[in-house]
Amino acid sequence: MDYAEGGDLATAIRECLDSEAMLPQSWVQELSLQVVSALDYMHSRGVIHCDLKPGNTMLLTPFILGDALAGASKPHALLVDFGLAEIFDETAAVGGPATVKGSPAYLSPEGFDGKLTQKSDTWALGVMLYEMLVGTRPFRGTNNIFVLYCQVANTEPGFDQIPEVPQSLVRALMEKNPASRWSARQCFAHEWFKVQEFDTSLVVPNSLGQQVSYFHRAVTFCMASAMGMKDLKEDYRLFKALDADKSGQLDQEELKLGLAKLGVRQDPSWIMAAMDLDQEPDSLRLIRNESFLFFSE
């Protein structure tokens, strides 16, 4: 396997934001075209990545922020971590309600019901493009259940923050109806990939949101695995049923018992590892009643 001298794309994005800079459009365009080419090749052979995200996009050439901003370097991307990849069967979408896979922030709306296709990969590409061009993910919040709800509801992210030319491409990739969403091959014809000079007056957003709690993310993903997003509006009643000591918050033991009752087949520790989550102190691994109120009647 090639050595990725530049680390992963997630680190490059974070380095830019920490320096109050943005990845230049020319750099993003070059990397995006490489990812589109990789997806088109995979999809033409019936393979779905199922976990496309910046953390699984490696940079083979060194990433030096100053050189990237000056246009003195170009990225060379490599997609990795095919541990969740599937061979796509055109007669049926991959998976089922209890086999949700992928990282929630990049998972397509249909993916929360376990119905993954090649269009699920292009949704993830759209999220990555948004993140590179705007500096933050399209859907964010301190409560990850709210983030997931936004991805399947009629909520739209701030597309107007994206530069004009690539904006229509991101919209096409983040179409919530997979039948209307662009494929990787359709992307080649987009005008953005023909642009050679770019406006460099990009502004870093004032607020990038708070880090989503490890516990919130794990809970949400496990619950989505068991129920599918269509059922998440029942969360308030579910919360009350799981809250055995009526304390208004769930601890890890209550969560473990609740997930077993829901019939979640995946090992929660495996899910957390797949999501690249770091451990938090025990005192933070609590989810409170208020987190569910958005969905209560």
Q: Which residues are catalytic?
A: 51
Structure tokens at 9: 């794309």
Count of CB atoms within 10 A of residue 1's CB? 6
Q: How far is CA 196 from CA 61, 141, 167, 180, in A?
A: 22, 35, 16, 28
For tokens 């399947």, the residue is 152
| Rounded (to 5) percent helix, strand, coil in the chain | 50, 5, 45
The SS3 assignment for 59 reads strand
Q: Which residues contact 68 (CB under 8 A, 6 or more apart)?
A: 12, 23, 24, 27, 75
Q: Which amino acid, residue 72?
A: A
- For residues 14-50, one letter each, b for 16 or more C-beta atoms within 10 angstroms of the residue's C-beta and e for the rest, the string is ebbbeeebbbbbbbbbbbbbbbbebbbebbeeebbbb
**Helix ranges restricted to H, 70-153:** 118-134, 144-152
| Interior angle at CA 272, CA 225 and CA 39, nearest 5 | 75
What is the rounded distance in angstroms from the CA atom of residue 136 to the CA atom of residue 116?
Answer: 25
C-alpha atoms less than 13 angstroms from C-alpha of 248 in its C-beta half-sphere? 2
Strand partners, 283: none
Count of CB atoms within 10 A of residue 222's CB? 21
Dihedral sign for Cα atoms in the order 36, 39, 41, 44: negative
